[in-house]
Amino acid sequence: MSPAKNDKDVRFIEQLENEFEVSKKFIHPGLRRSVDVKVLHTLLRRPTEAALVMELFDGIPLEAQDMRDVGKIVDIFIQVADALDSMHTLGYVHCDLKPNNILFDSHGVAKVIDFGQTCKVGTARNAFRARRISSLPSR
């Protein structure tokens, strides 16, 4: 557990709690499950420390892989699409899918990770709206 020192740390703890609430429901082998979360709060319910226990998966991020084999790339994409389909069936959207959030092991198994930004289908997270607005050219 690490202590929360500022608002950024508090947001991180909130993302851990979100990841746990979402990923504890997963049954698909391509989605990393969370097992437990522990959060300590102040008397006024401000989170101060947190720990997330997740399924162990010994893989390397897709970004760090040598991806010259087109067949291997297609296989990974098929596995990821199948995992995301399972997630969408549960009513969730990942919202932060990128090569660092896809692990690939030595047996050819891909696993999607990092569900802190995940939200229900049909909703939006404030952070994404803020990024979109701030990236618009000024007039």
Asked if the structure places residue 81 within a domain, the reply is: yes
Report the C-alpha gap between 51 and 34 in whole angstroms.
Answer: 11
Domain count for the chain: 1
- Is residue 75 within 8 Å of 104, Cβ to Cβ? no
- Which residues are tagged catalytic? 96
Q: What is the CATH number of the domain that holds 109?
A: 1.10.510.10
Asked if the structure places residue 91 within a domain, the reply is: yes
Give 111's pLDDT tier (boundaries 50, 70, 90).
very high
Asked if the structure places residue 139 within a domain, the reply is: no
Asked if the structure places residue 76 within a domain, the reply is: yes
Count the neighbouring beta carbons within 10 Å of the beta carbon of residue 73.
13
- The answer to whether residue 115 scores a pLDDT higher than 50 is yes
pLDDT at site 11: 86
- The answer to whether residue 93 scores a pLDDT higher than 70 is yes
Looking at the chain, the whole-number percentage of residues with pLDDT higher than 70 is 86
Mean pLDDT for the stretch of residues 103-113: 95
Report the C-alpha gap between 92 and 87 in whole angstroms.
Answer: 6
Single out the residue of 2, 30, 5 nearest to residue 16, CA to CA: 2
Report the C-alpha gap between 16 and 37 in whole angstroms.
Answer: 8
The residue ranking higher by pLDDT, 6 or 100, is 100
- The answer to whether residue 92 scores a pLDDT higher than 50 is yes
Residue 101 has, within 13 A of its CA and on its CB side, a CA count of 16
Helix, strand, coil shares, percent, the chain, to 5: 35, 20, 40
- φ, ψ for residue 79, nearest 5 deg: -60, -45
- The answer to whether residue 5 scores a pLDDT higher than 70 is no
pTM: 0.80
pLDDT at site 124: 73
Looking at the chain, the whole-number percentage of residues with pLDDT higher than 90 is 63
For the chain, give the mean pLDDT: 86
Domain limits for position 39? 2-134
